[in-house]
Every structure is written in structure tokens, then in C-alpha cells.
Structure 1
């Protein structure tokens, strides 16, 4: 053992014995004093020593000491020890009150940082149960149950460790001229030992990398500050390796022990055990005038390079930490400005709203230098540190304004950065994230400087379960730099370069459900299409499950169109946007299809039939409800695209056997109800002023009521409108095409018939291996041979129609039946109404073969 280590061991042993000789309560008091003044490194040493033999301490004192010790470890980013102590004290189920309840929240955050998300949810739940004010835990529970939501876009970015890093903390880079200015705790051969009281790490100075070419910068993505041109694009390979394929990736239990940087021996990852990391790319101190013997932190430059705003703790004392109490001995962080004159920074002065009662730091400026965002724990905030803004008018800073509850939380928001389009990036430990500090993004109103959108987590790999902060990038996030302690945790902050390789936003989940609007039942395996609105080239198709649902992950921050077409139903196009959707909760989109049972009176005299147009509000739709074999016939009359029930409609229900007419006027719910004879056909008419007349046939129910016939009646009923279902029909079945009627002595397809034939087109498309026979019939009036020829021409006309719609002619055969198969008693010499004769002028199709896959 070396003499240096022997002396150190002797000193520690003597100090420990001396501590145990005292009353333990007094040691706790000293530890509490260090804890309250944010001297966490010293507090850890005192608590650990006293808790080994807590002689004379009460149970209450021991619990409080352990909670403070655990929070001290959390504050210095030693999550392994923080978990150990929290688990020890909370497993005994102590009764926590007041501020101590936050221990459950802190432990949940520690567990998340250690990747133990399910267990973290248990403590978030306990925290939620014990207090009413802070419900952010609900959001963390949702995210922890779906971590993949923030990880699915990880392949879109390449993360690289850069060679300017050292064994000390290196973070918060900003562009300056053609290089980077960043914060570092390296000693730079200084003979003065300078440490923070918080975690015993070195005090910070500003360092400068003169040229980004040295780290293979391919594109800075932002205007170079203090320079007239952007940093040039470099095609040279970077000097570092991709994160995840090198020793910079956080270790696992299978790895050898990773030692960290210098610091307190109780803090994991901070003790120097023969480890040093020296920069491979040389940098230098930024300015002799700016770098003092105390702390200089994150800075921002006016875009012409003439002025700098920087963070400093200007007085002797502790580490200048945010959140310090007024009576503490550590001084506050403050913002200063300086001007570049005579090759250095001069005229250093405080910004007026600094105070000895709170801290201000971490500045960033908008592209026009008119708004500064910064971090402060000044009164009027939401808790912890908040992000504030101030305007720069005529050389003066306005009164700071808090960015509000959209950005700020009860936790800590810090390290803001504003890009050239006015998008704000910041880090938070209380917005739901992957662990500890995560980087978030929100659009801003460039006129007011206030938030104008929703806070978004950038997700992996820009975020990790460690601290991620201090980002700079361009408005498209093509490339940039960020700070993180993901390498070894603790206070070992390093700077990483990132390059976007894929999509900017990733995707967000939506659950699509498609229902029958009348029955509210889901469709079984229905196909639909969707696309980014206005971009038909992005169109894709999908099929729902047997439960009528499907989960999609759609490109984030976009508007979409969903197109659903189903036989017998009105085509639906539904708009959907995920711009305000959650990143980790699935959105829900319900689509309801309305049945296609619209009959418009084409004989209305206001316009010739061939040129008449009908607006959606002029269309009456008579929808049916109930059992098709019931003696009660009921339904609802609706109008317009949204199928709103309509009152004041005269409904006629005409018995085709007896000529008896039942009438009623619909009420506010648009409903109607009639009695019917099952063995008779009926005509249902709907009439209202300024609306087109709706008329449809309600066929009789066959006496033979086999199961297959009942299903066929449902399928063929005008209220359903579908033509064919391979589950219900077999080869040899003859299916009547509803409403395919012809004018007397004509074979040309009427426009109302063409609409019905579109259903047959969809049926043929849905069943590409089905072969059918088109059968056409005439009424019994006139010469039988002429009628046979006419029916053949009608059948051929239907075949030609389907061919024009893309159906192969080889799949169809047209057959004219003439007047040989009337559907009623209207034979030769029988007096019948025009409606009865029209029923015989019909078209059917017979299924010749079906080849199911």
C-alpha cells in the first residue's frame, strides 16, 4: 500500500472513531446542516458514518436521516446508492407526513433512472394516494406502461461521443464563430483546488473549440455566431464511434466495474481509481477576463458576436446552486453581460433583475436578440427551477415573465435553447420521460415569446434514463450537440454529437374502430385506406381485426384522411389529426358507416332527370330497424350526410296485395311504425316539401323460412343494401339486384339502376374468383319473342357496364329470360298496375362458381 493511501486510511479511521465518540444526534445535526445548505457530498459522508452506529438516536431521527441521505445521493446523480437507501428506509413502511411524502416520488424517479419502470409505478401510485395537489404521477404511470412510445424512433438518430470531453464534467455547448464554447470542470493545469459544495466536483469554466472541423462536424445546422457564414459541411469520418458500440455505453451487470472521476469516496462513479480520460481534441480556456476563480456556466451570444450573456457565481462560498434557502451560506448564480473589445471580453456587468435571494442562469437568445429565456427559482414560479423570459428593448431588459404551466412544473426545468424558428428546447425532471432530466420541445409564438403548442419528449436516443440536457440544433433537428451523463452516470457529463438519419417526429399510435352506424356493432375484417391529407402518394391500406379494430402508428404531427368503402354502405372519408395527440397514449378514432338505402325521385318536374342535381340536404333516407320477418315494420327517416332524424315527413305504407294504404307523419325522432302481412309486398314512400320523394319495395317473406332464407332476406333487404356474402351464399344461388329497372321497351340502364350496379362491381372486386350469370327479365306485355330479344340486350348492357368498371368479361355471361319468369301473377291478359309490371323488368345474377382461398 502506498504511503499516500496509508495516511489517508489512518486519517479516515481516526475521524470515524472521533465521530462515534460523539452523541449520534449531534452528528445528525451537522449532517442536516450540510444537507440544508446543499452540501450533499459532505452530508453523505456524515450520514453514512452516523448511521453505521446510530447510538442514542430516535427512530424518527434515523428515518429522517435515511431520507435525507437518499435524497443527497439522488441530488448528486448516484442512483445506485439512492435506490439502496430508499429501499432500506421505505421497506419498513414508515408513516410519512408533509414534505417527507415526496420520498415516494423521488424513489419512483430513481427507479426510472435505473430502468426499473414497473416498480417505479408502484411508488408513483403511493405518492398519488397520499397527496392531492400533484397528479403528475398519473402521467408517469401511463408512460412507464408504454416505454416503447418514446423509443420507437431511436433508429432515426446517430449519437457520437466527441473528443473534447475530459474526466470532468463537460456540457452546454453553444456555437461561436466556427467553433463551440462549452462549460467544463477540468482543471486546465490550475494550481487551485476548486470544488462545488454540492457534490465535491470541480468548479466550472468556459472552454473553446475553435473549429468544428476537428470533430468531423458535417453541418452545424445553425448560423455561426459572430461569423458571416455557416460552418462548412465536412465529409470526413468522425473521430469517435457510434454510441452503443463502444465502451461509452452505460455498463451492465455483465461488464467489469467502471470507475469514474474524482470526488467524494462515498459517491459511486466519482472516486479516482487509476482512471483518467484526456481529450483527444485540444481546446483552450475561452477568456481570461470571463473565467474567474469561481464558477462560470452556460452562456449565450448575441448573433453578431459582439456581446455575451453568461452564468456566474461571483462570490466566495459554495457552489451557487439553484433552489438554495435565503439563509444559506452558498451564494446565488447570476447572469452577467460582457462586450467584445480589444480581443477580449470587457465591460462585465450584472443584469438588473439578479438577486441575492434567488438564482438566475442558463441563458439563450432568439435569432433577433430581442428575447432571452433563462432559468430561475425566483418567486412566482411553479416549484423548483422554472424557465422565464425577458425582452431586450433599447438596451434594457424588461421584467421577467414566467412561461407558465405548459412548460414549468413542480419539478425542475432548465437548460433552455431557442432555435432560429423560435422552437424552444429545455430539460425537465418532472415532465414524463425516460429517467431524470429529459430534453423536451415546444413551439413558441415568435411575437409574444410564449408557448403556442404542446410539450413533446424528444425520445430515445436523444434522451436516456440518465441526465440529458444542454442541446443545440437547427430548426429541422438535422444535426447538433447535447450533454448527457449516460456514459457513467453521476456528475460525469459529456458532450455528444447527433445526426438525424430518419423521420423528425417518429409516429404516434391510434386505435381505429369501424362500426355499423345502425347496430353499433363492429365490422369483421373490413379493409380501409388512409393517407396524409393532401398527399395521395402516402396512401396505405389496412384491415381491421375480427373485432373491427386495428392499432396504427402514424407519422407524428400530421393530418390524415381515412377512406372506408363497404358494400351496401355509404362511403366515408374521415379526417384525423395527431398534432395534439399524446406521445405515449393511443388516440382513438371511431368510424360509423351508414347504410346505403337512398331513393331519389327522378320524375320531379323541376329539372329534366338527366341534368337534375340533388344536394345532400334534399335527400330523404328511410332506415329500417328490427326483425325482417316481424309483423311490425319500423324505422327512422333521416336527411343529409349526417343522417339527422327529420320530423314532418309523410310516410305511406302501401299493401301490394290489397291496395290498403297506411299513413303517418314522423315526429322529432323521425321514427315510423306499421303493421304488415308477411305474405304481401309493400311500397314504402316518404314525402316532404322541398325534399325528393323516397320510394322503395318491401318484399314479402317467403313461406319457407329456412335459416339460409332468413339470412338472405337480411342481406337483400334495401335497409342493408349489400349484394353478396360468401359465408351465406353458395353456387347455384340466384341473387336479385334491387332497383335494376328499365323503362318500357328500353334496354338502356337508368341512372338509378347504375347506382345499384356499382354494388355488383364491388362484389366482383371483393370476390375475384367468382363467375356469374347475368339474367335479365321483361314484363309480360307485348310479343314474347321481342321481349326475349329485349331482355338479352338488357343482360348484355349490364355485362358491358361491369366491363367498363374493370370486371373481366370472361367472368360474366349475359342471359335474356324474356317474360318467361314473372315474379307475380301479371301474366298475359292479366290487368296489373305499372308498379307490378316494373317488378318483372328486373335483373338478377346467378353464381356459377366461387373459388375461395
Structure 2
């Protein structure tokens, strides 16, 4: 399963071996740099300048048009994206790492409603990926890593049917069925909704670990159900079974939906135990899978065609399933109404609302479908649900598609037995949808252990599948609810596009050899591959691993660089560029004195001996201010765009000569450290040479920096003016390091109850995060963590009397670097 099919290119990691060689950036190179740092609007403007000025080389036309198409896609302008993709693909077909653009173009076309053309390019993308997979099977096989999950069999399961879980507030709503009195009885059971107010309190009786081992929880015995064995819809005393009335369209039970411990049914919820959902909603007929609005004020649920005490019958004398809606008020669900597209002649069931509540996905066997039961979508327009649209053959098959669910990023999950490659019975899939949520771009099968040889259905999870719940009858043939927790990266491998080029001419190098070294499964491995005619190599790297690439080609000096897939927080492919330089004859370098900037000048030179000004300084760690060895320092002359480089020694020092009358930019970089950039204002012409001092600090992953003046009064969490000024500096740091992800650690002193201190510190950290978000820092880059009194900086712990100043030292805030590049 290739989970990267719908993903896009990410930031460029440029590793160059130019060592003191000046390189002038062309306008096209500036555009590429802006594109690779995801500054898409700036990149488009520069690309357009290149095109308008007639500076676009013929061999760069396709790549430039592809980049512009992708940039417009990211900015939400599908029409312009389509125009540039069309021009790019008119040049020639795509190969190597560029084939992903077929998928991007398919998405653009889907956004424009051109589904037939979108499908054609998606199929072309799939064909290219399959061909590419055959060509690089060895490289990809040794680098792939399986996604692993832990499964919990839950204590809420009984000898009856439990299935179709759904999140509601902090709890879990699900279905359970009542068992008949005896197998001979003519009285059959019905399904109702049940509710556990706090899903964190649900215990596991057994756990299946990713290594295949199983452990038992404290609740070793399955509880006795107050509800009994469920039966198929239509097998009750009122109806006969039909092809429409089966478990795949659900049978249902009711769990209380009150946020209080006492539910609307009057039952008091015990920790981790279910209660009946609602007196108003549960009837003597089937109540089925439900969905809730984001604020919890509205429910849409499934029920047999029964309302206001009356049964609705179809022309063939069957009771079908219908969708109903209700509003929360006065301690229970009220104003129960049918949805307008229901019918007595066919079933509608299994509702799933999108995050914004504007789209409703559901299952129906209405006429003119694709086969059995299909998934449809309706839009909330003019205070009513629109006419349903079939999700089409890209999703629906001749078999049943049932139990849809939409996560917060818009992935549509469902179950079916109608697709090739399933493990058996109903299997769980998810569909990547177009921007408007009504068209299917791709359908992806979920791997084991979520899927099994039995029926697996009714999933609810988050966008990254960090954790969630689903239903399965894999154990003793009963429908039960399982909890899953992902224990590895969501992605089997990290897609890497690697380009090799000539450091002097910037031309791509074909047939360069790339040796890849790593440890897979604790064993050292080494593989090799070669770049294609355009200088590209394409592979997938195992997540949570470290790699070393050595690139070689006859007539060039080898280049070695490390690459890590640890702590990568997105799902986007990475583009890595490696330059190869020709061997340099030392005598030639010594004899070239024409350029005064290549002449070494001692740091002890007096001002009287300087012909030009100089900039020099020391690169230190941000935390303890120690010199850093091995930092690549680059100086860019903003007048002629020439770049000069040096590497710091053990003393962390660097030294450059600069020309009066030009602005300069200093760029400091080193593996595992964040790249820092400083601007140097020009030294006026016709002035005496000066020595400019620019010491700089670098942050690295794991650094913890205490923020000055971020102290709190005891028990309070407000931000003082002094603290705000300090936080503004931190905001500036976050903006200077676009890749920086940080954790705000807040500490209290030891006075007061430990749990309360933990809560207070969490609130303080959250207030700081909220302040920084309001100042323009993306929330996903920040994490608030309350440490409470757990980490004092002095001996002021419980039972020790300290001065107010000593207590105040412990009421501090720290800034931890979680990720930086």
C-alpha cells in the first residue's frame, strides 16, 4: 500500500560542496530556492519574471512549469495550476521523481470537476509507480518499514453485539443488541445506542501487541450484558428478511449523551461503564449508527421506519431504514425529524458528518446505484439537505459499501467486500477526496491488524490515525469493539527525491552512483543505485532511521551526507540535492591572488593593515555559549550575489573580508542545528576599513532555554508586560527558524497540592502558546506542557521552607527545541 500517492513535494534540503567557490544565483535559481522553501507566492512571481524576460532555458521549461503548477495548487488556484501543468506535460512525459506531478494534476482536474480527465491522469500515475516499483524493487524493499498498531479488546464487549463506535464530546457512543430469551423464542432483539461519558476510562481486557504477543488486562472476564444477542434487521416479528435488511446496514443500541454523570435516561454512569443513551431516541425498533455535529448539539441517527408511534411500510411490505435528526435541549434529544430524502421504498442509514457539518455521507440502496448498498453525499444548503449524489464508481462497487466516517482532514473511511486485495469479509478503506468533498481521488486499503479475515467495519479515528476504535467479528464470530494505537510512523517509508548536479556548472549529472548505508532491523545494510538521465534518483526510506549517502562519479570528488527520517512530522516527500565538485589543484589556488577575498587575513591584523573592512565573530551554542566547531558559514554579497564559505574550527571563529558599499548576508548552518541568517548593513564607500563583530548563537534539537522575566505570581497564569516583551523575542526566534518546533515548559513552586500545580502550570504554558499564536506563530509548531512542581532548580521541595525569591526561581518557563533544521 502506497500511502504517499496523494501527497506533495516538500522543502528542499540543499547540500553543496562548493568550499570557498563563489556562486552567483540566477533569477531562476532564486525562484527555485523560494519554491523549495515553500514560499510559493514569491516563487511564482520570480518564475514569471524569468518567463517574461525570456531567460528560461529550454531544458528547464518543463520543471519550471511543473513547479508553477504545483505552487498554484498549494495556493488554491486550480485554474492557473491546470494551465501550467498542461504546458508542462505538453513538453514530454514524466519519469523518476517527477511522476508525482501526474497525481497533483489529477487532483487539480478533480477540483475543477473534470473527473474523467482526472481519472486518466491518476491511472497514468499508478502505472508509472508500478513500473518504477519494479525498477527499484531492491532499494525500496530494504528501506520499507511496516506500520505497526497495538490492539485492545475492550471490557465493554459482551456476549452480544457491540459495534459502530462514534466520538461524542469526551465519550464514546456505540451500538449494542439485546439477546432473545432463548434460541427457540420468536421474540427477536433490537439495537440501541449506548454511551460511555469518558472514553479514557474504558479498560482493555486483553492487548495484542505489534510483535504478536498478547497480554491480559485486569478485567479478565467478559461482563454479562444487560443487552442481549442482536439479530439481523428484518428478522423481528413485524418484517421478513430482505436484501436491504442486514447487519451491514446496522442494528443499533442507545448510550446516554449527557455530559453529566447522570444521563438523560436517569442512569448514573460508572467509570468506564456504558449507560443507555436517550429515552427519547431509543424505541422498540432498531436505532442505528449515529453522527454528531462538532458542538454536540445535533445528532443524525439511523432508525427503522418508525415515527410518532407509526410503522412505515414499503410496497413490498418491508420496514426500511431511515435517517432522523434531533436537537439537544432540556436534558434530552428533542424535535426528532426525518431527513427530506428518506423514502418508504429504500433504506438510508449510517450517517457521517464532515467536520464543518456541511456534508453528510450515508449509505443507501436507492435505485440507480452501483450495485448493493452505495455511499452517497448530501450538502446542507438553504437550511435543508440537498438531493443526494452517489460517490461514483471510484468508491462504490457491485457489493456493499457501508459504515462511512470522515476524519478532521476530510478522509472518508468505509467498509466493503467488493474490492480486490482485501483480507476477507468486510475490509476497511479510506478515500482521499477532492477539495469539495464530493469526488474520490484515491482509495487506500488499511493493512492488518486493523483489517483481518473477518468483517472489519465502523472505524472512528483522527487524521493521523494516532488512535481510534473500530468493530470486528474476528473473535468468536461476535461483533466487538477494538481500540487501536499506532506505535510507528503513519507512513511505511519516507519518499526521497535525490538530485545530483555539477557544483560548477549546475548541470544535472546522470549515472552518478549513490551508496546508501543504514541499519535496518539492527543489521547494517548497504545498497547502491544510479541517477537517471535527468540526474534524479527516487527511493523510499524506512521511517525512524538514519542513512548515509555517498555520491560518486568519475572525474568528481565524492560527496557524503547524512539523512535522518527520525522525528519527521509531516507526510511529504523530501527533495535532497547533492553537488559534486571537480578536483582542485592546490598550486592553482595558491597562485590566484586576483580576488582579494580569497586572501587569508589573520584575526590579529591591525586596522592600519586592512585594505577592506572585515566581518568576524564566534559561533556558539545558544544554551551554554560554547564555541561550535564545523559550522558552515556562508557570506553572500548582495551586490553581485557571490557567495563565500568557511568552516569554523574548534574556537568557533570565522572571518571574511567585505567590500564597502555593499550589503551582505551571513548564513550559519550545521547538521542537527537550526540555520541562522543575519543581515549586515553596508559599510559606506570612501570610509576607513572597519572590523565588524558578529557573534551568533545556534539552537539545536533538545536545547532547553530558560526565558528571562517569565515569572508568575503564585497560583496565577496571566502574562505580565515584562513577560510579553520576552515572549515577543521568542516569537521573533520562531519566525527566524521556520522549521523550529518548540515545547513550552511551565514550572511551579512546591507550595500547594501537586495535582493543582500541574493544572496551573499547564494553563500557564497554554496561555503562552495562545499569546504566540496570536502573534502569528502556527499552533502546530507549539506544544504546551505543564511540569508542575516536578523539576525545581533548587532545594525548595515539599517540607522545605524557602524565601520568596527561591520559590520564585522555580516558577519559571522554559523553551525546548523539539525539531529544527
TM-score range relative to shorter protein: 0.3 to 0.5
Q: TM-score, normalised by structure 1?
A: 0.37
| Bigger Rg over Cα | 1
Give TM-score, length-normalised by structure 2: 0.38
Structure with greater contact order relative to length (CA < 8 Å, sep ≥ 6): 2
